[in-house]
Amino acid sequence: AQTVTQSQPEMSVQEAETVTLSCTYDTSESNYYLFWYKQPPSRQMILVIRQEAYKQQNATENRFSVNFQKAAKSFSLKISDSQLGDTAMYFCAFMKRPDNAGNMLTFGGGTRLMVKP
C-alpha cells in the first residue's frame, strides 16, 4: 500500500513571494504518477501539476513547479509569484501506473495555503 504525507498543515506567504509545499510518499512501485491538486473554497478539486516517475525532469506549469526526488521519495511544489487566488488547500497525491491497477489516487492530508496581500 502507498502512503502520502504532507507535514505542513498550514502555510502562509505574502503576495508575489515564493512558497514551497512539501510532500513525501512511500511505495514499493517503480512506475507511478504524482500529483498536486488545489482545492479552493469552492471545494472543486483542480489538478495543478503532475509528474511521471520515470521522467527525471521536473514538471512545470507556468508559476507552478515541482522538485521530484525519486530516491528520497520527495515531491515538493513551488509556487512562484504567489497570487491571492492561490489561497486554497493543496493535496499531494499518488497513482500507480495504470495497468489494471484501478487508477486510484492516494492523497496526503493537505496543506492549507493562505496568500496575504
Partner 1 sequence: DGGITQSPKYLFRKEGQNVTLSCEQNLNHDAMYWYRQDPGQGLRLIYYSQIVNDFQKGDIAEGYSVSREKKESFPLTVTSAQKNPTAFYLCASISGGAGYNEQFFGPGTRLTVL
When asked if residue 109 is in the footprint of partner 1 (CB under 8 A), the reply is: yes
When asked if residue 114 is in the footprint of partner 1 (CB under 8 A), the reply is: no
C-alpha cell at 13: 506567504
Q: How much of the chain is in helix, strand and coil states, percent to nearest 5?
A: 5, 50, 45
Closest CA to 17 of 63, 74, 66, 67: 63
Binding string, residues 41-60; x marks residues near partner 1 by CB under 8 A: -xxxx-x--x-x--------
Question: Cα separations (Å) of 19 from 14, 22, 31, 53?
Answer: 9, 10, 28, 23
When asked if residue 91 is in the footprint of partner 1 (CB under 8 A), the reply is: yes
Contacting range for partner 1; rule: CB under 8 A; set: 17-25, 57-65, 69-77, 104-112: 104-112
Contacting positions for partner 1 (CB under 8 A): 4, 6, 9, 33, 42-45, 47, 50, 52, 91, 95, 98, 102-110, 112
